[in-house]
Amino acid sequence: MSKKITTVIRSNRVIRKASSALLTVLCILLSTLHTPFSYSLPAEDVQLVTDAQYFQVAKKIIQEAKHSVQVMMFEMGYYDQHPNTPSNLLIKDLVDAKKRGVKVEVILEVREGEDRTTKRNRHTGKVLSEGGVEVIYDPLFKTTHAKFMVVDGRLTLLGSTNWTYYALTSNNEASVLVRSKEVAQASMDYFNRVKATGSKNSKFQAPISK
């Protein structure tokens, strides 16, 4: 085999190895764009909130809100025939916060059809919207199962608790109240990503305009 042919073969091997390495790097970069990752964030304080404690904690931080409240909820029930149920009172607190100048945004789950969660959320969304609160419904093809609230960019209340009668009165539920600007910012970033895919019309699937 001539020296020239040997050189060409070696060059081809180098090119193949370089191409393979480049492809690997590209795959890693692309995977980071689509795969969520977890990371640690600092917190000043973390408080465990269980069962019916949630209502009092949520009510207090909404009433003390000065600038903003973001809520993402799988199920939020407003019961017309029972005006003083815990979820009704929290919903009224959101409307009151809006009236005193706080920016209030709520993302709710909806699906195709008329299941209980969708019917409740559409009704609650109507009540909130009539009170001036900005309500966004997630896409019909995506389930929003998150349950959290961020207040003033520093407090985050998140866990298993829906805003429904049984969740707020008698279920075994566990949440945490985190005092941390970093956790609040990460939660708001996630809120805004979900918001960008949603709609102000509960039966419309196109993303809302920014």
The token pair at 197 is 């895919």
pLDDT surpasses 50 at 31: no
Of 6-15, 29-38, 74-83, the range with the highest mean pLDDT is 74-83
CA distance 24 to 26: 5
pLDDT band with cut points at 50, 70 and 90 for residue 42: confident
pLDDT of residue 75: 97
Task: Return the DSSP state at 138.
Answer: P
10-17 long-range Cβ contacts below 8 angstroms, 24+ apart:
none
Burial bucket for residue 150 (CB in 10 Å: 0-12, 13-18, 19+): buried
Q: What is the mean pLDDT of residues 2-31?
A: 48
> Would you state the pLDDT for residue 200?
84
Query: Is 119's pLDDT higher than 90?
Result: yes
Beta strands in 31-184 (DSSP E): 45-50, 68-73, 103-108, 134-137, 148-151, 155-159, 174-179
What is the per-residue pLDDT across 155-204, written as a single tens digit (0 to 9) for each? 999 999 999 999 999 999 999 999 999 999 999 999 999 999 998 876 64
| Number of separate helices (H) and strands (E) present in the chain | 6, 7
DSSP symbol at 68: E
The model's confidence at residue 11, banded by pLDDT at 50, 70 and 90, is low
Determine contact, residues 155/61, Cβ cutoff 8 Å: yes
Tokens for 101, please give them: 């100048």
Straight-line distance from the first to the last Cα atom of the chain, in angstroms, rounded to the nearest whole number: 65
Residue whose structure tokens are 């990503």 = 193
Span 98-113, average pLDDT: 94
Percent of the chain with pLDDT over 70: 78
The whole-chain average pLDDT of the chain stands at: 85
Q: What is the pLDDT of residue 12?
A: 53
**Bigger pLDDT: 152 vs 28:** 152
- Residues comprising the chain, all counted: 210
The two tokens of residue 72 are 């993402």
* Distance separating alpha carbons of residues 110 and 36, to the nearest angstrom: 23
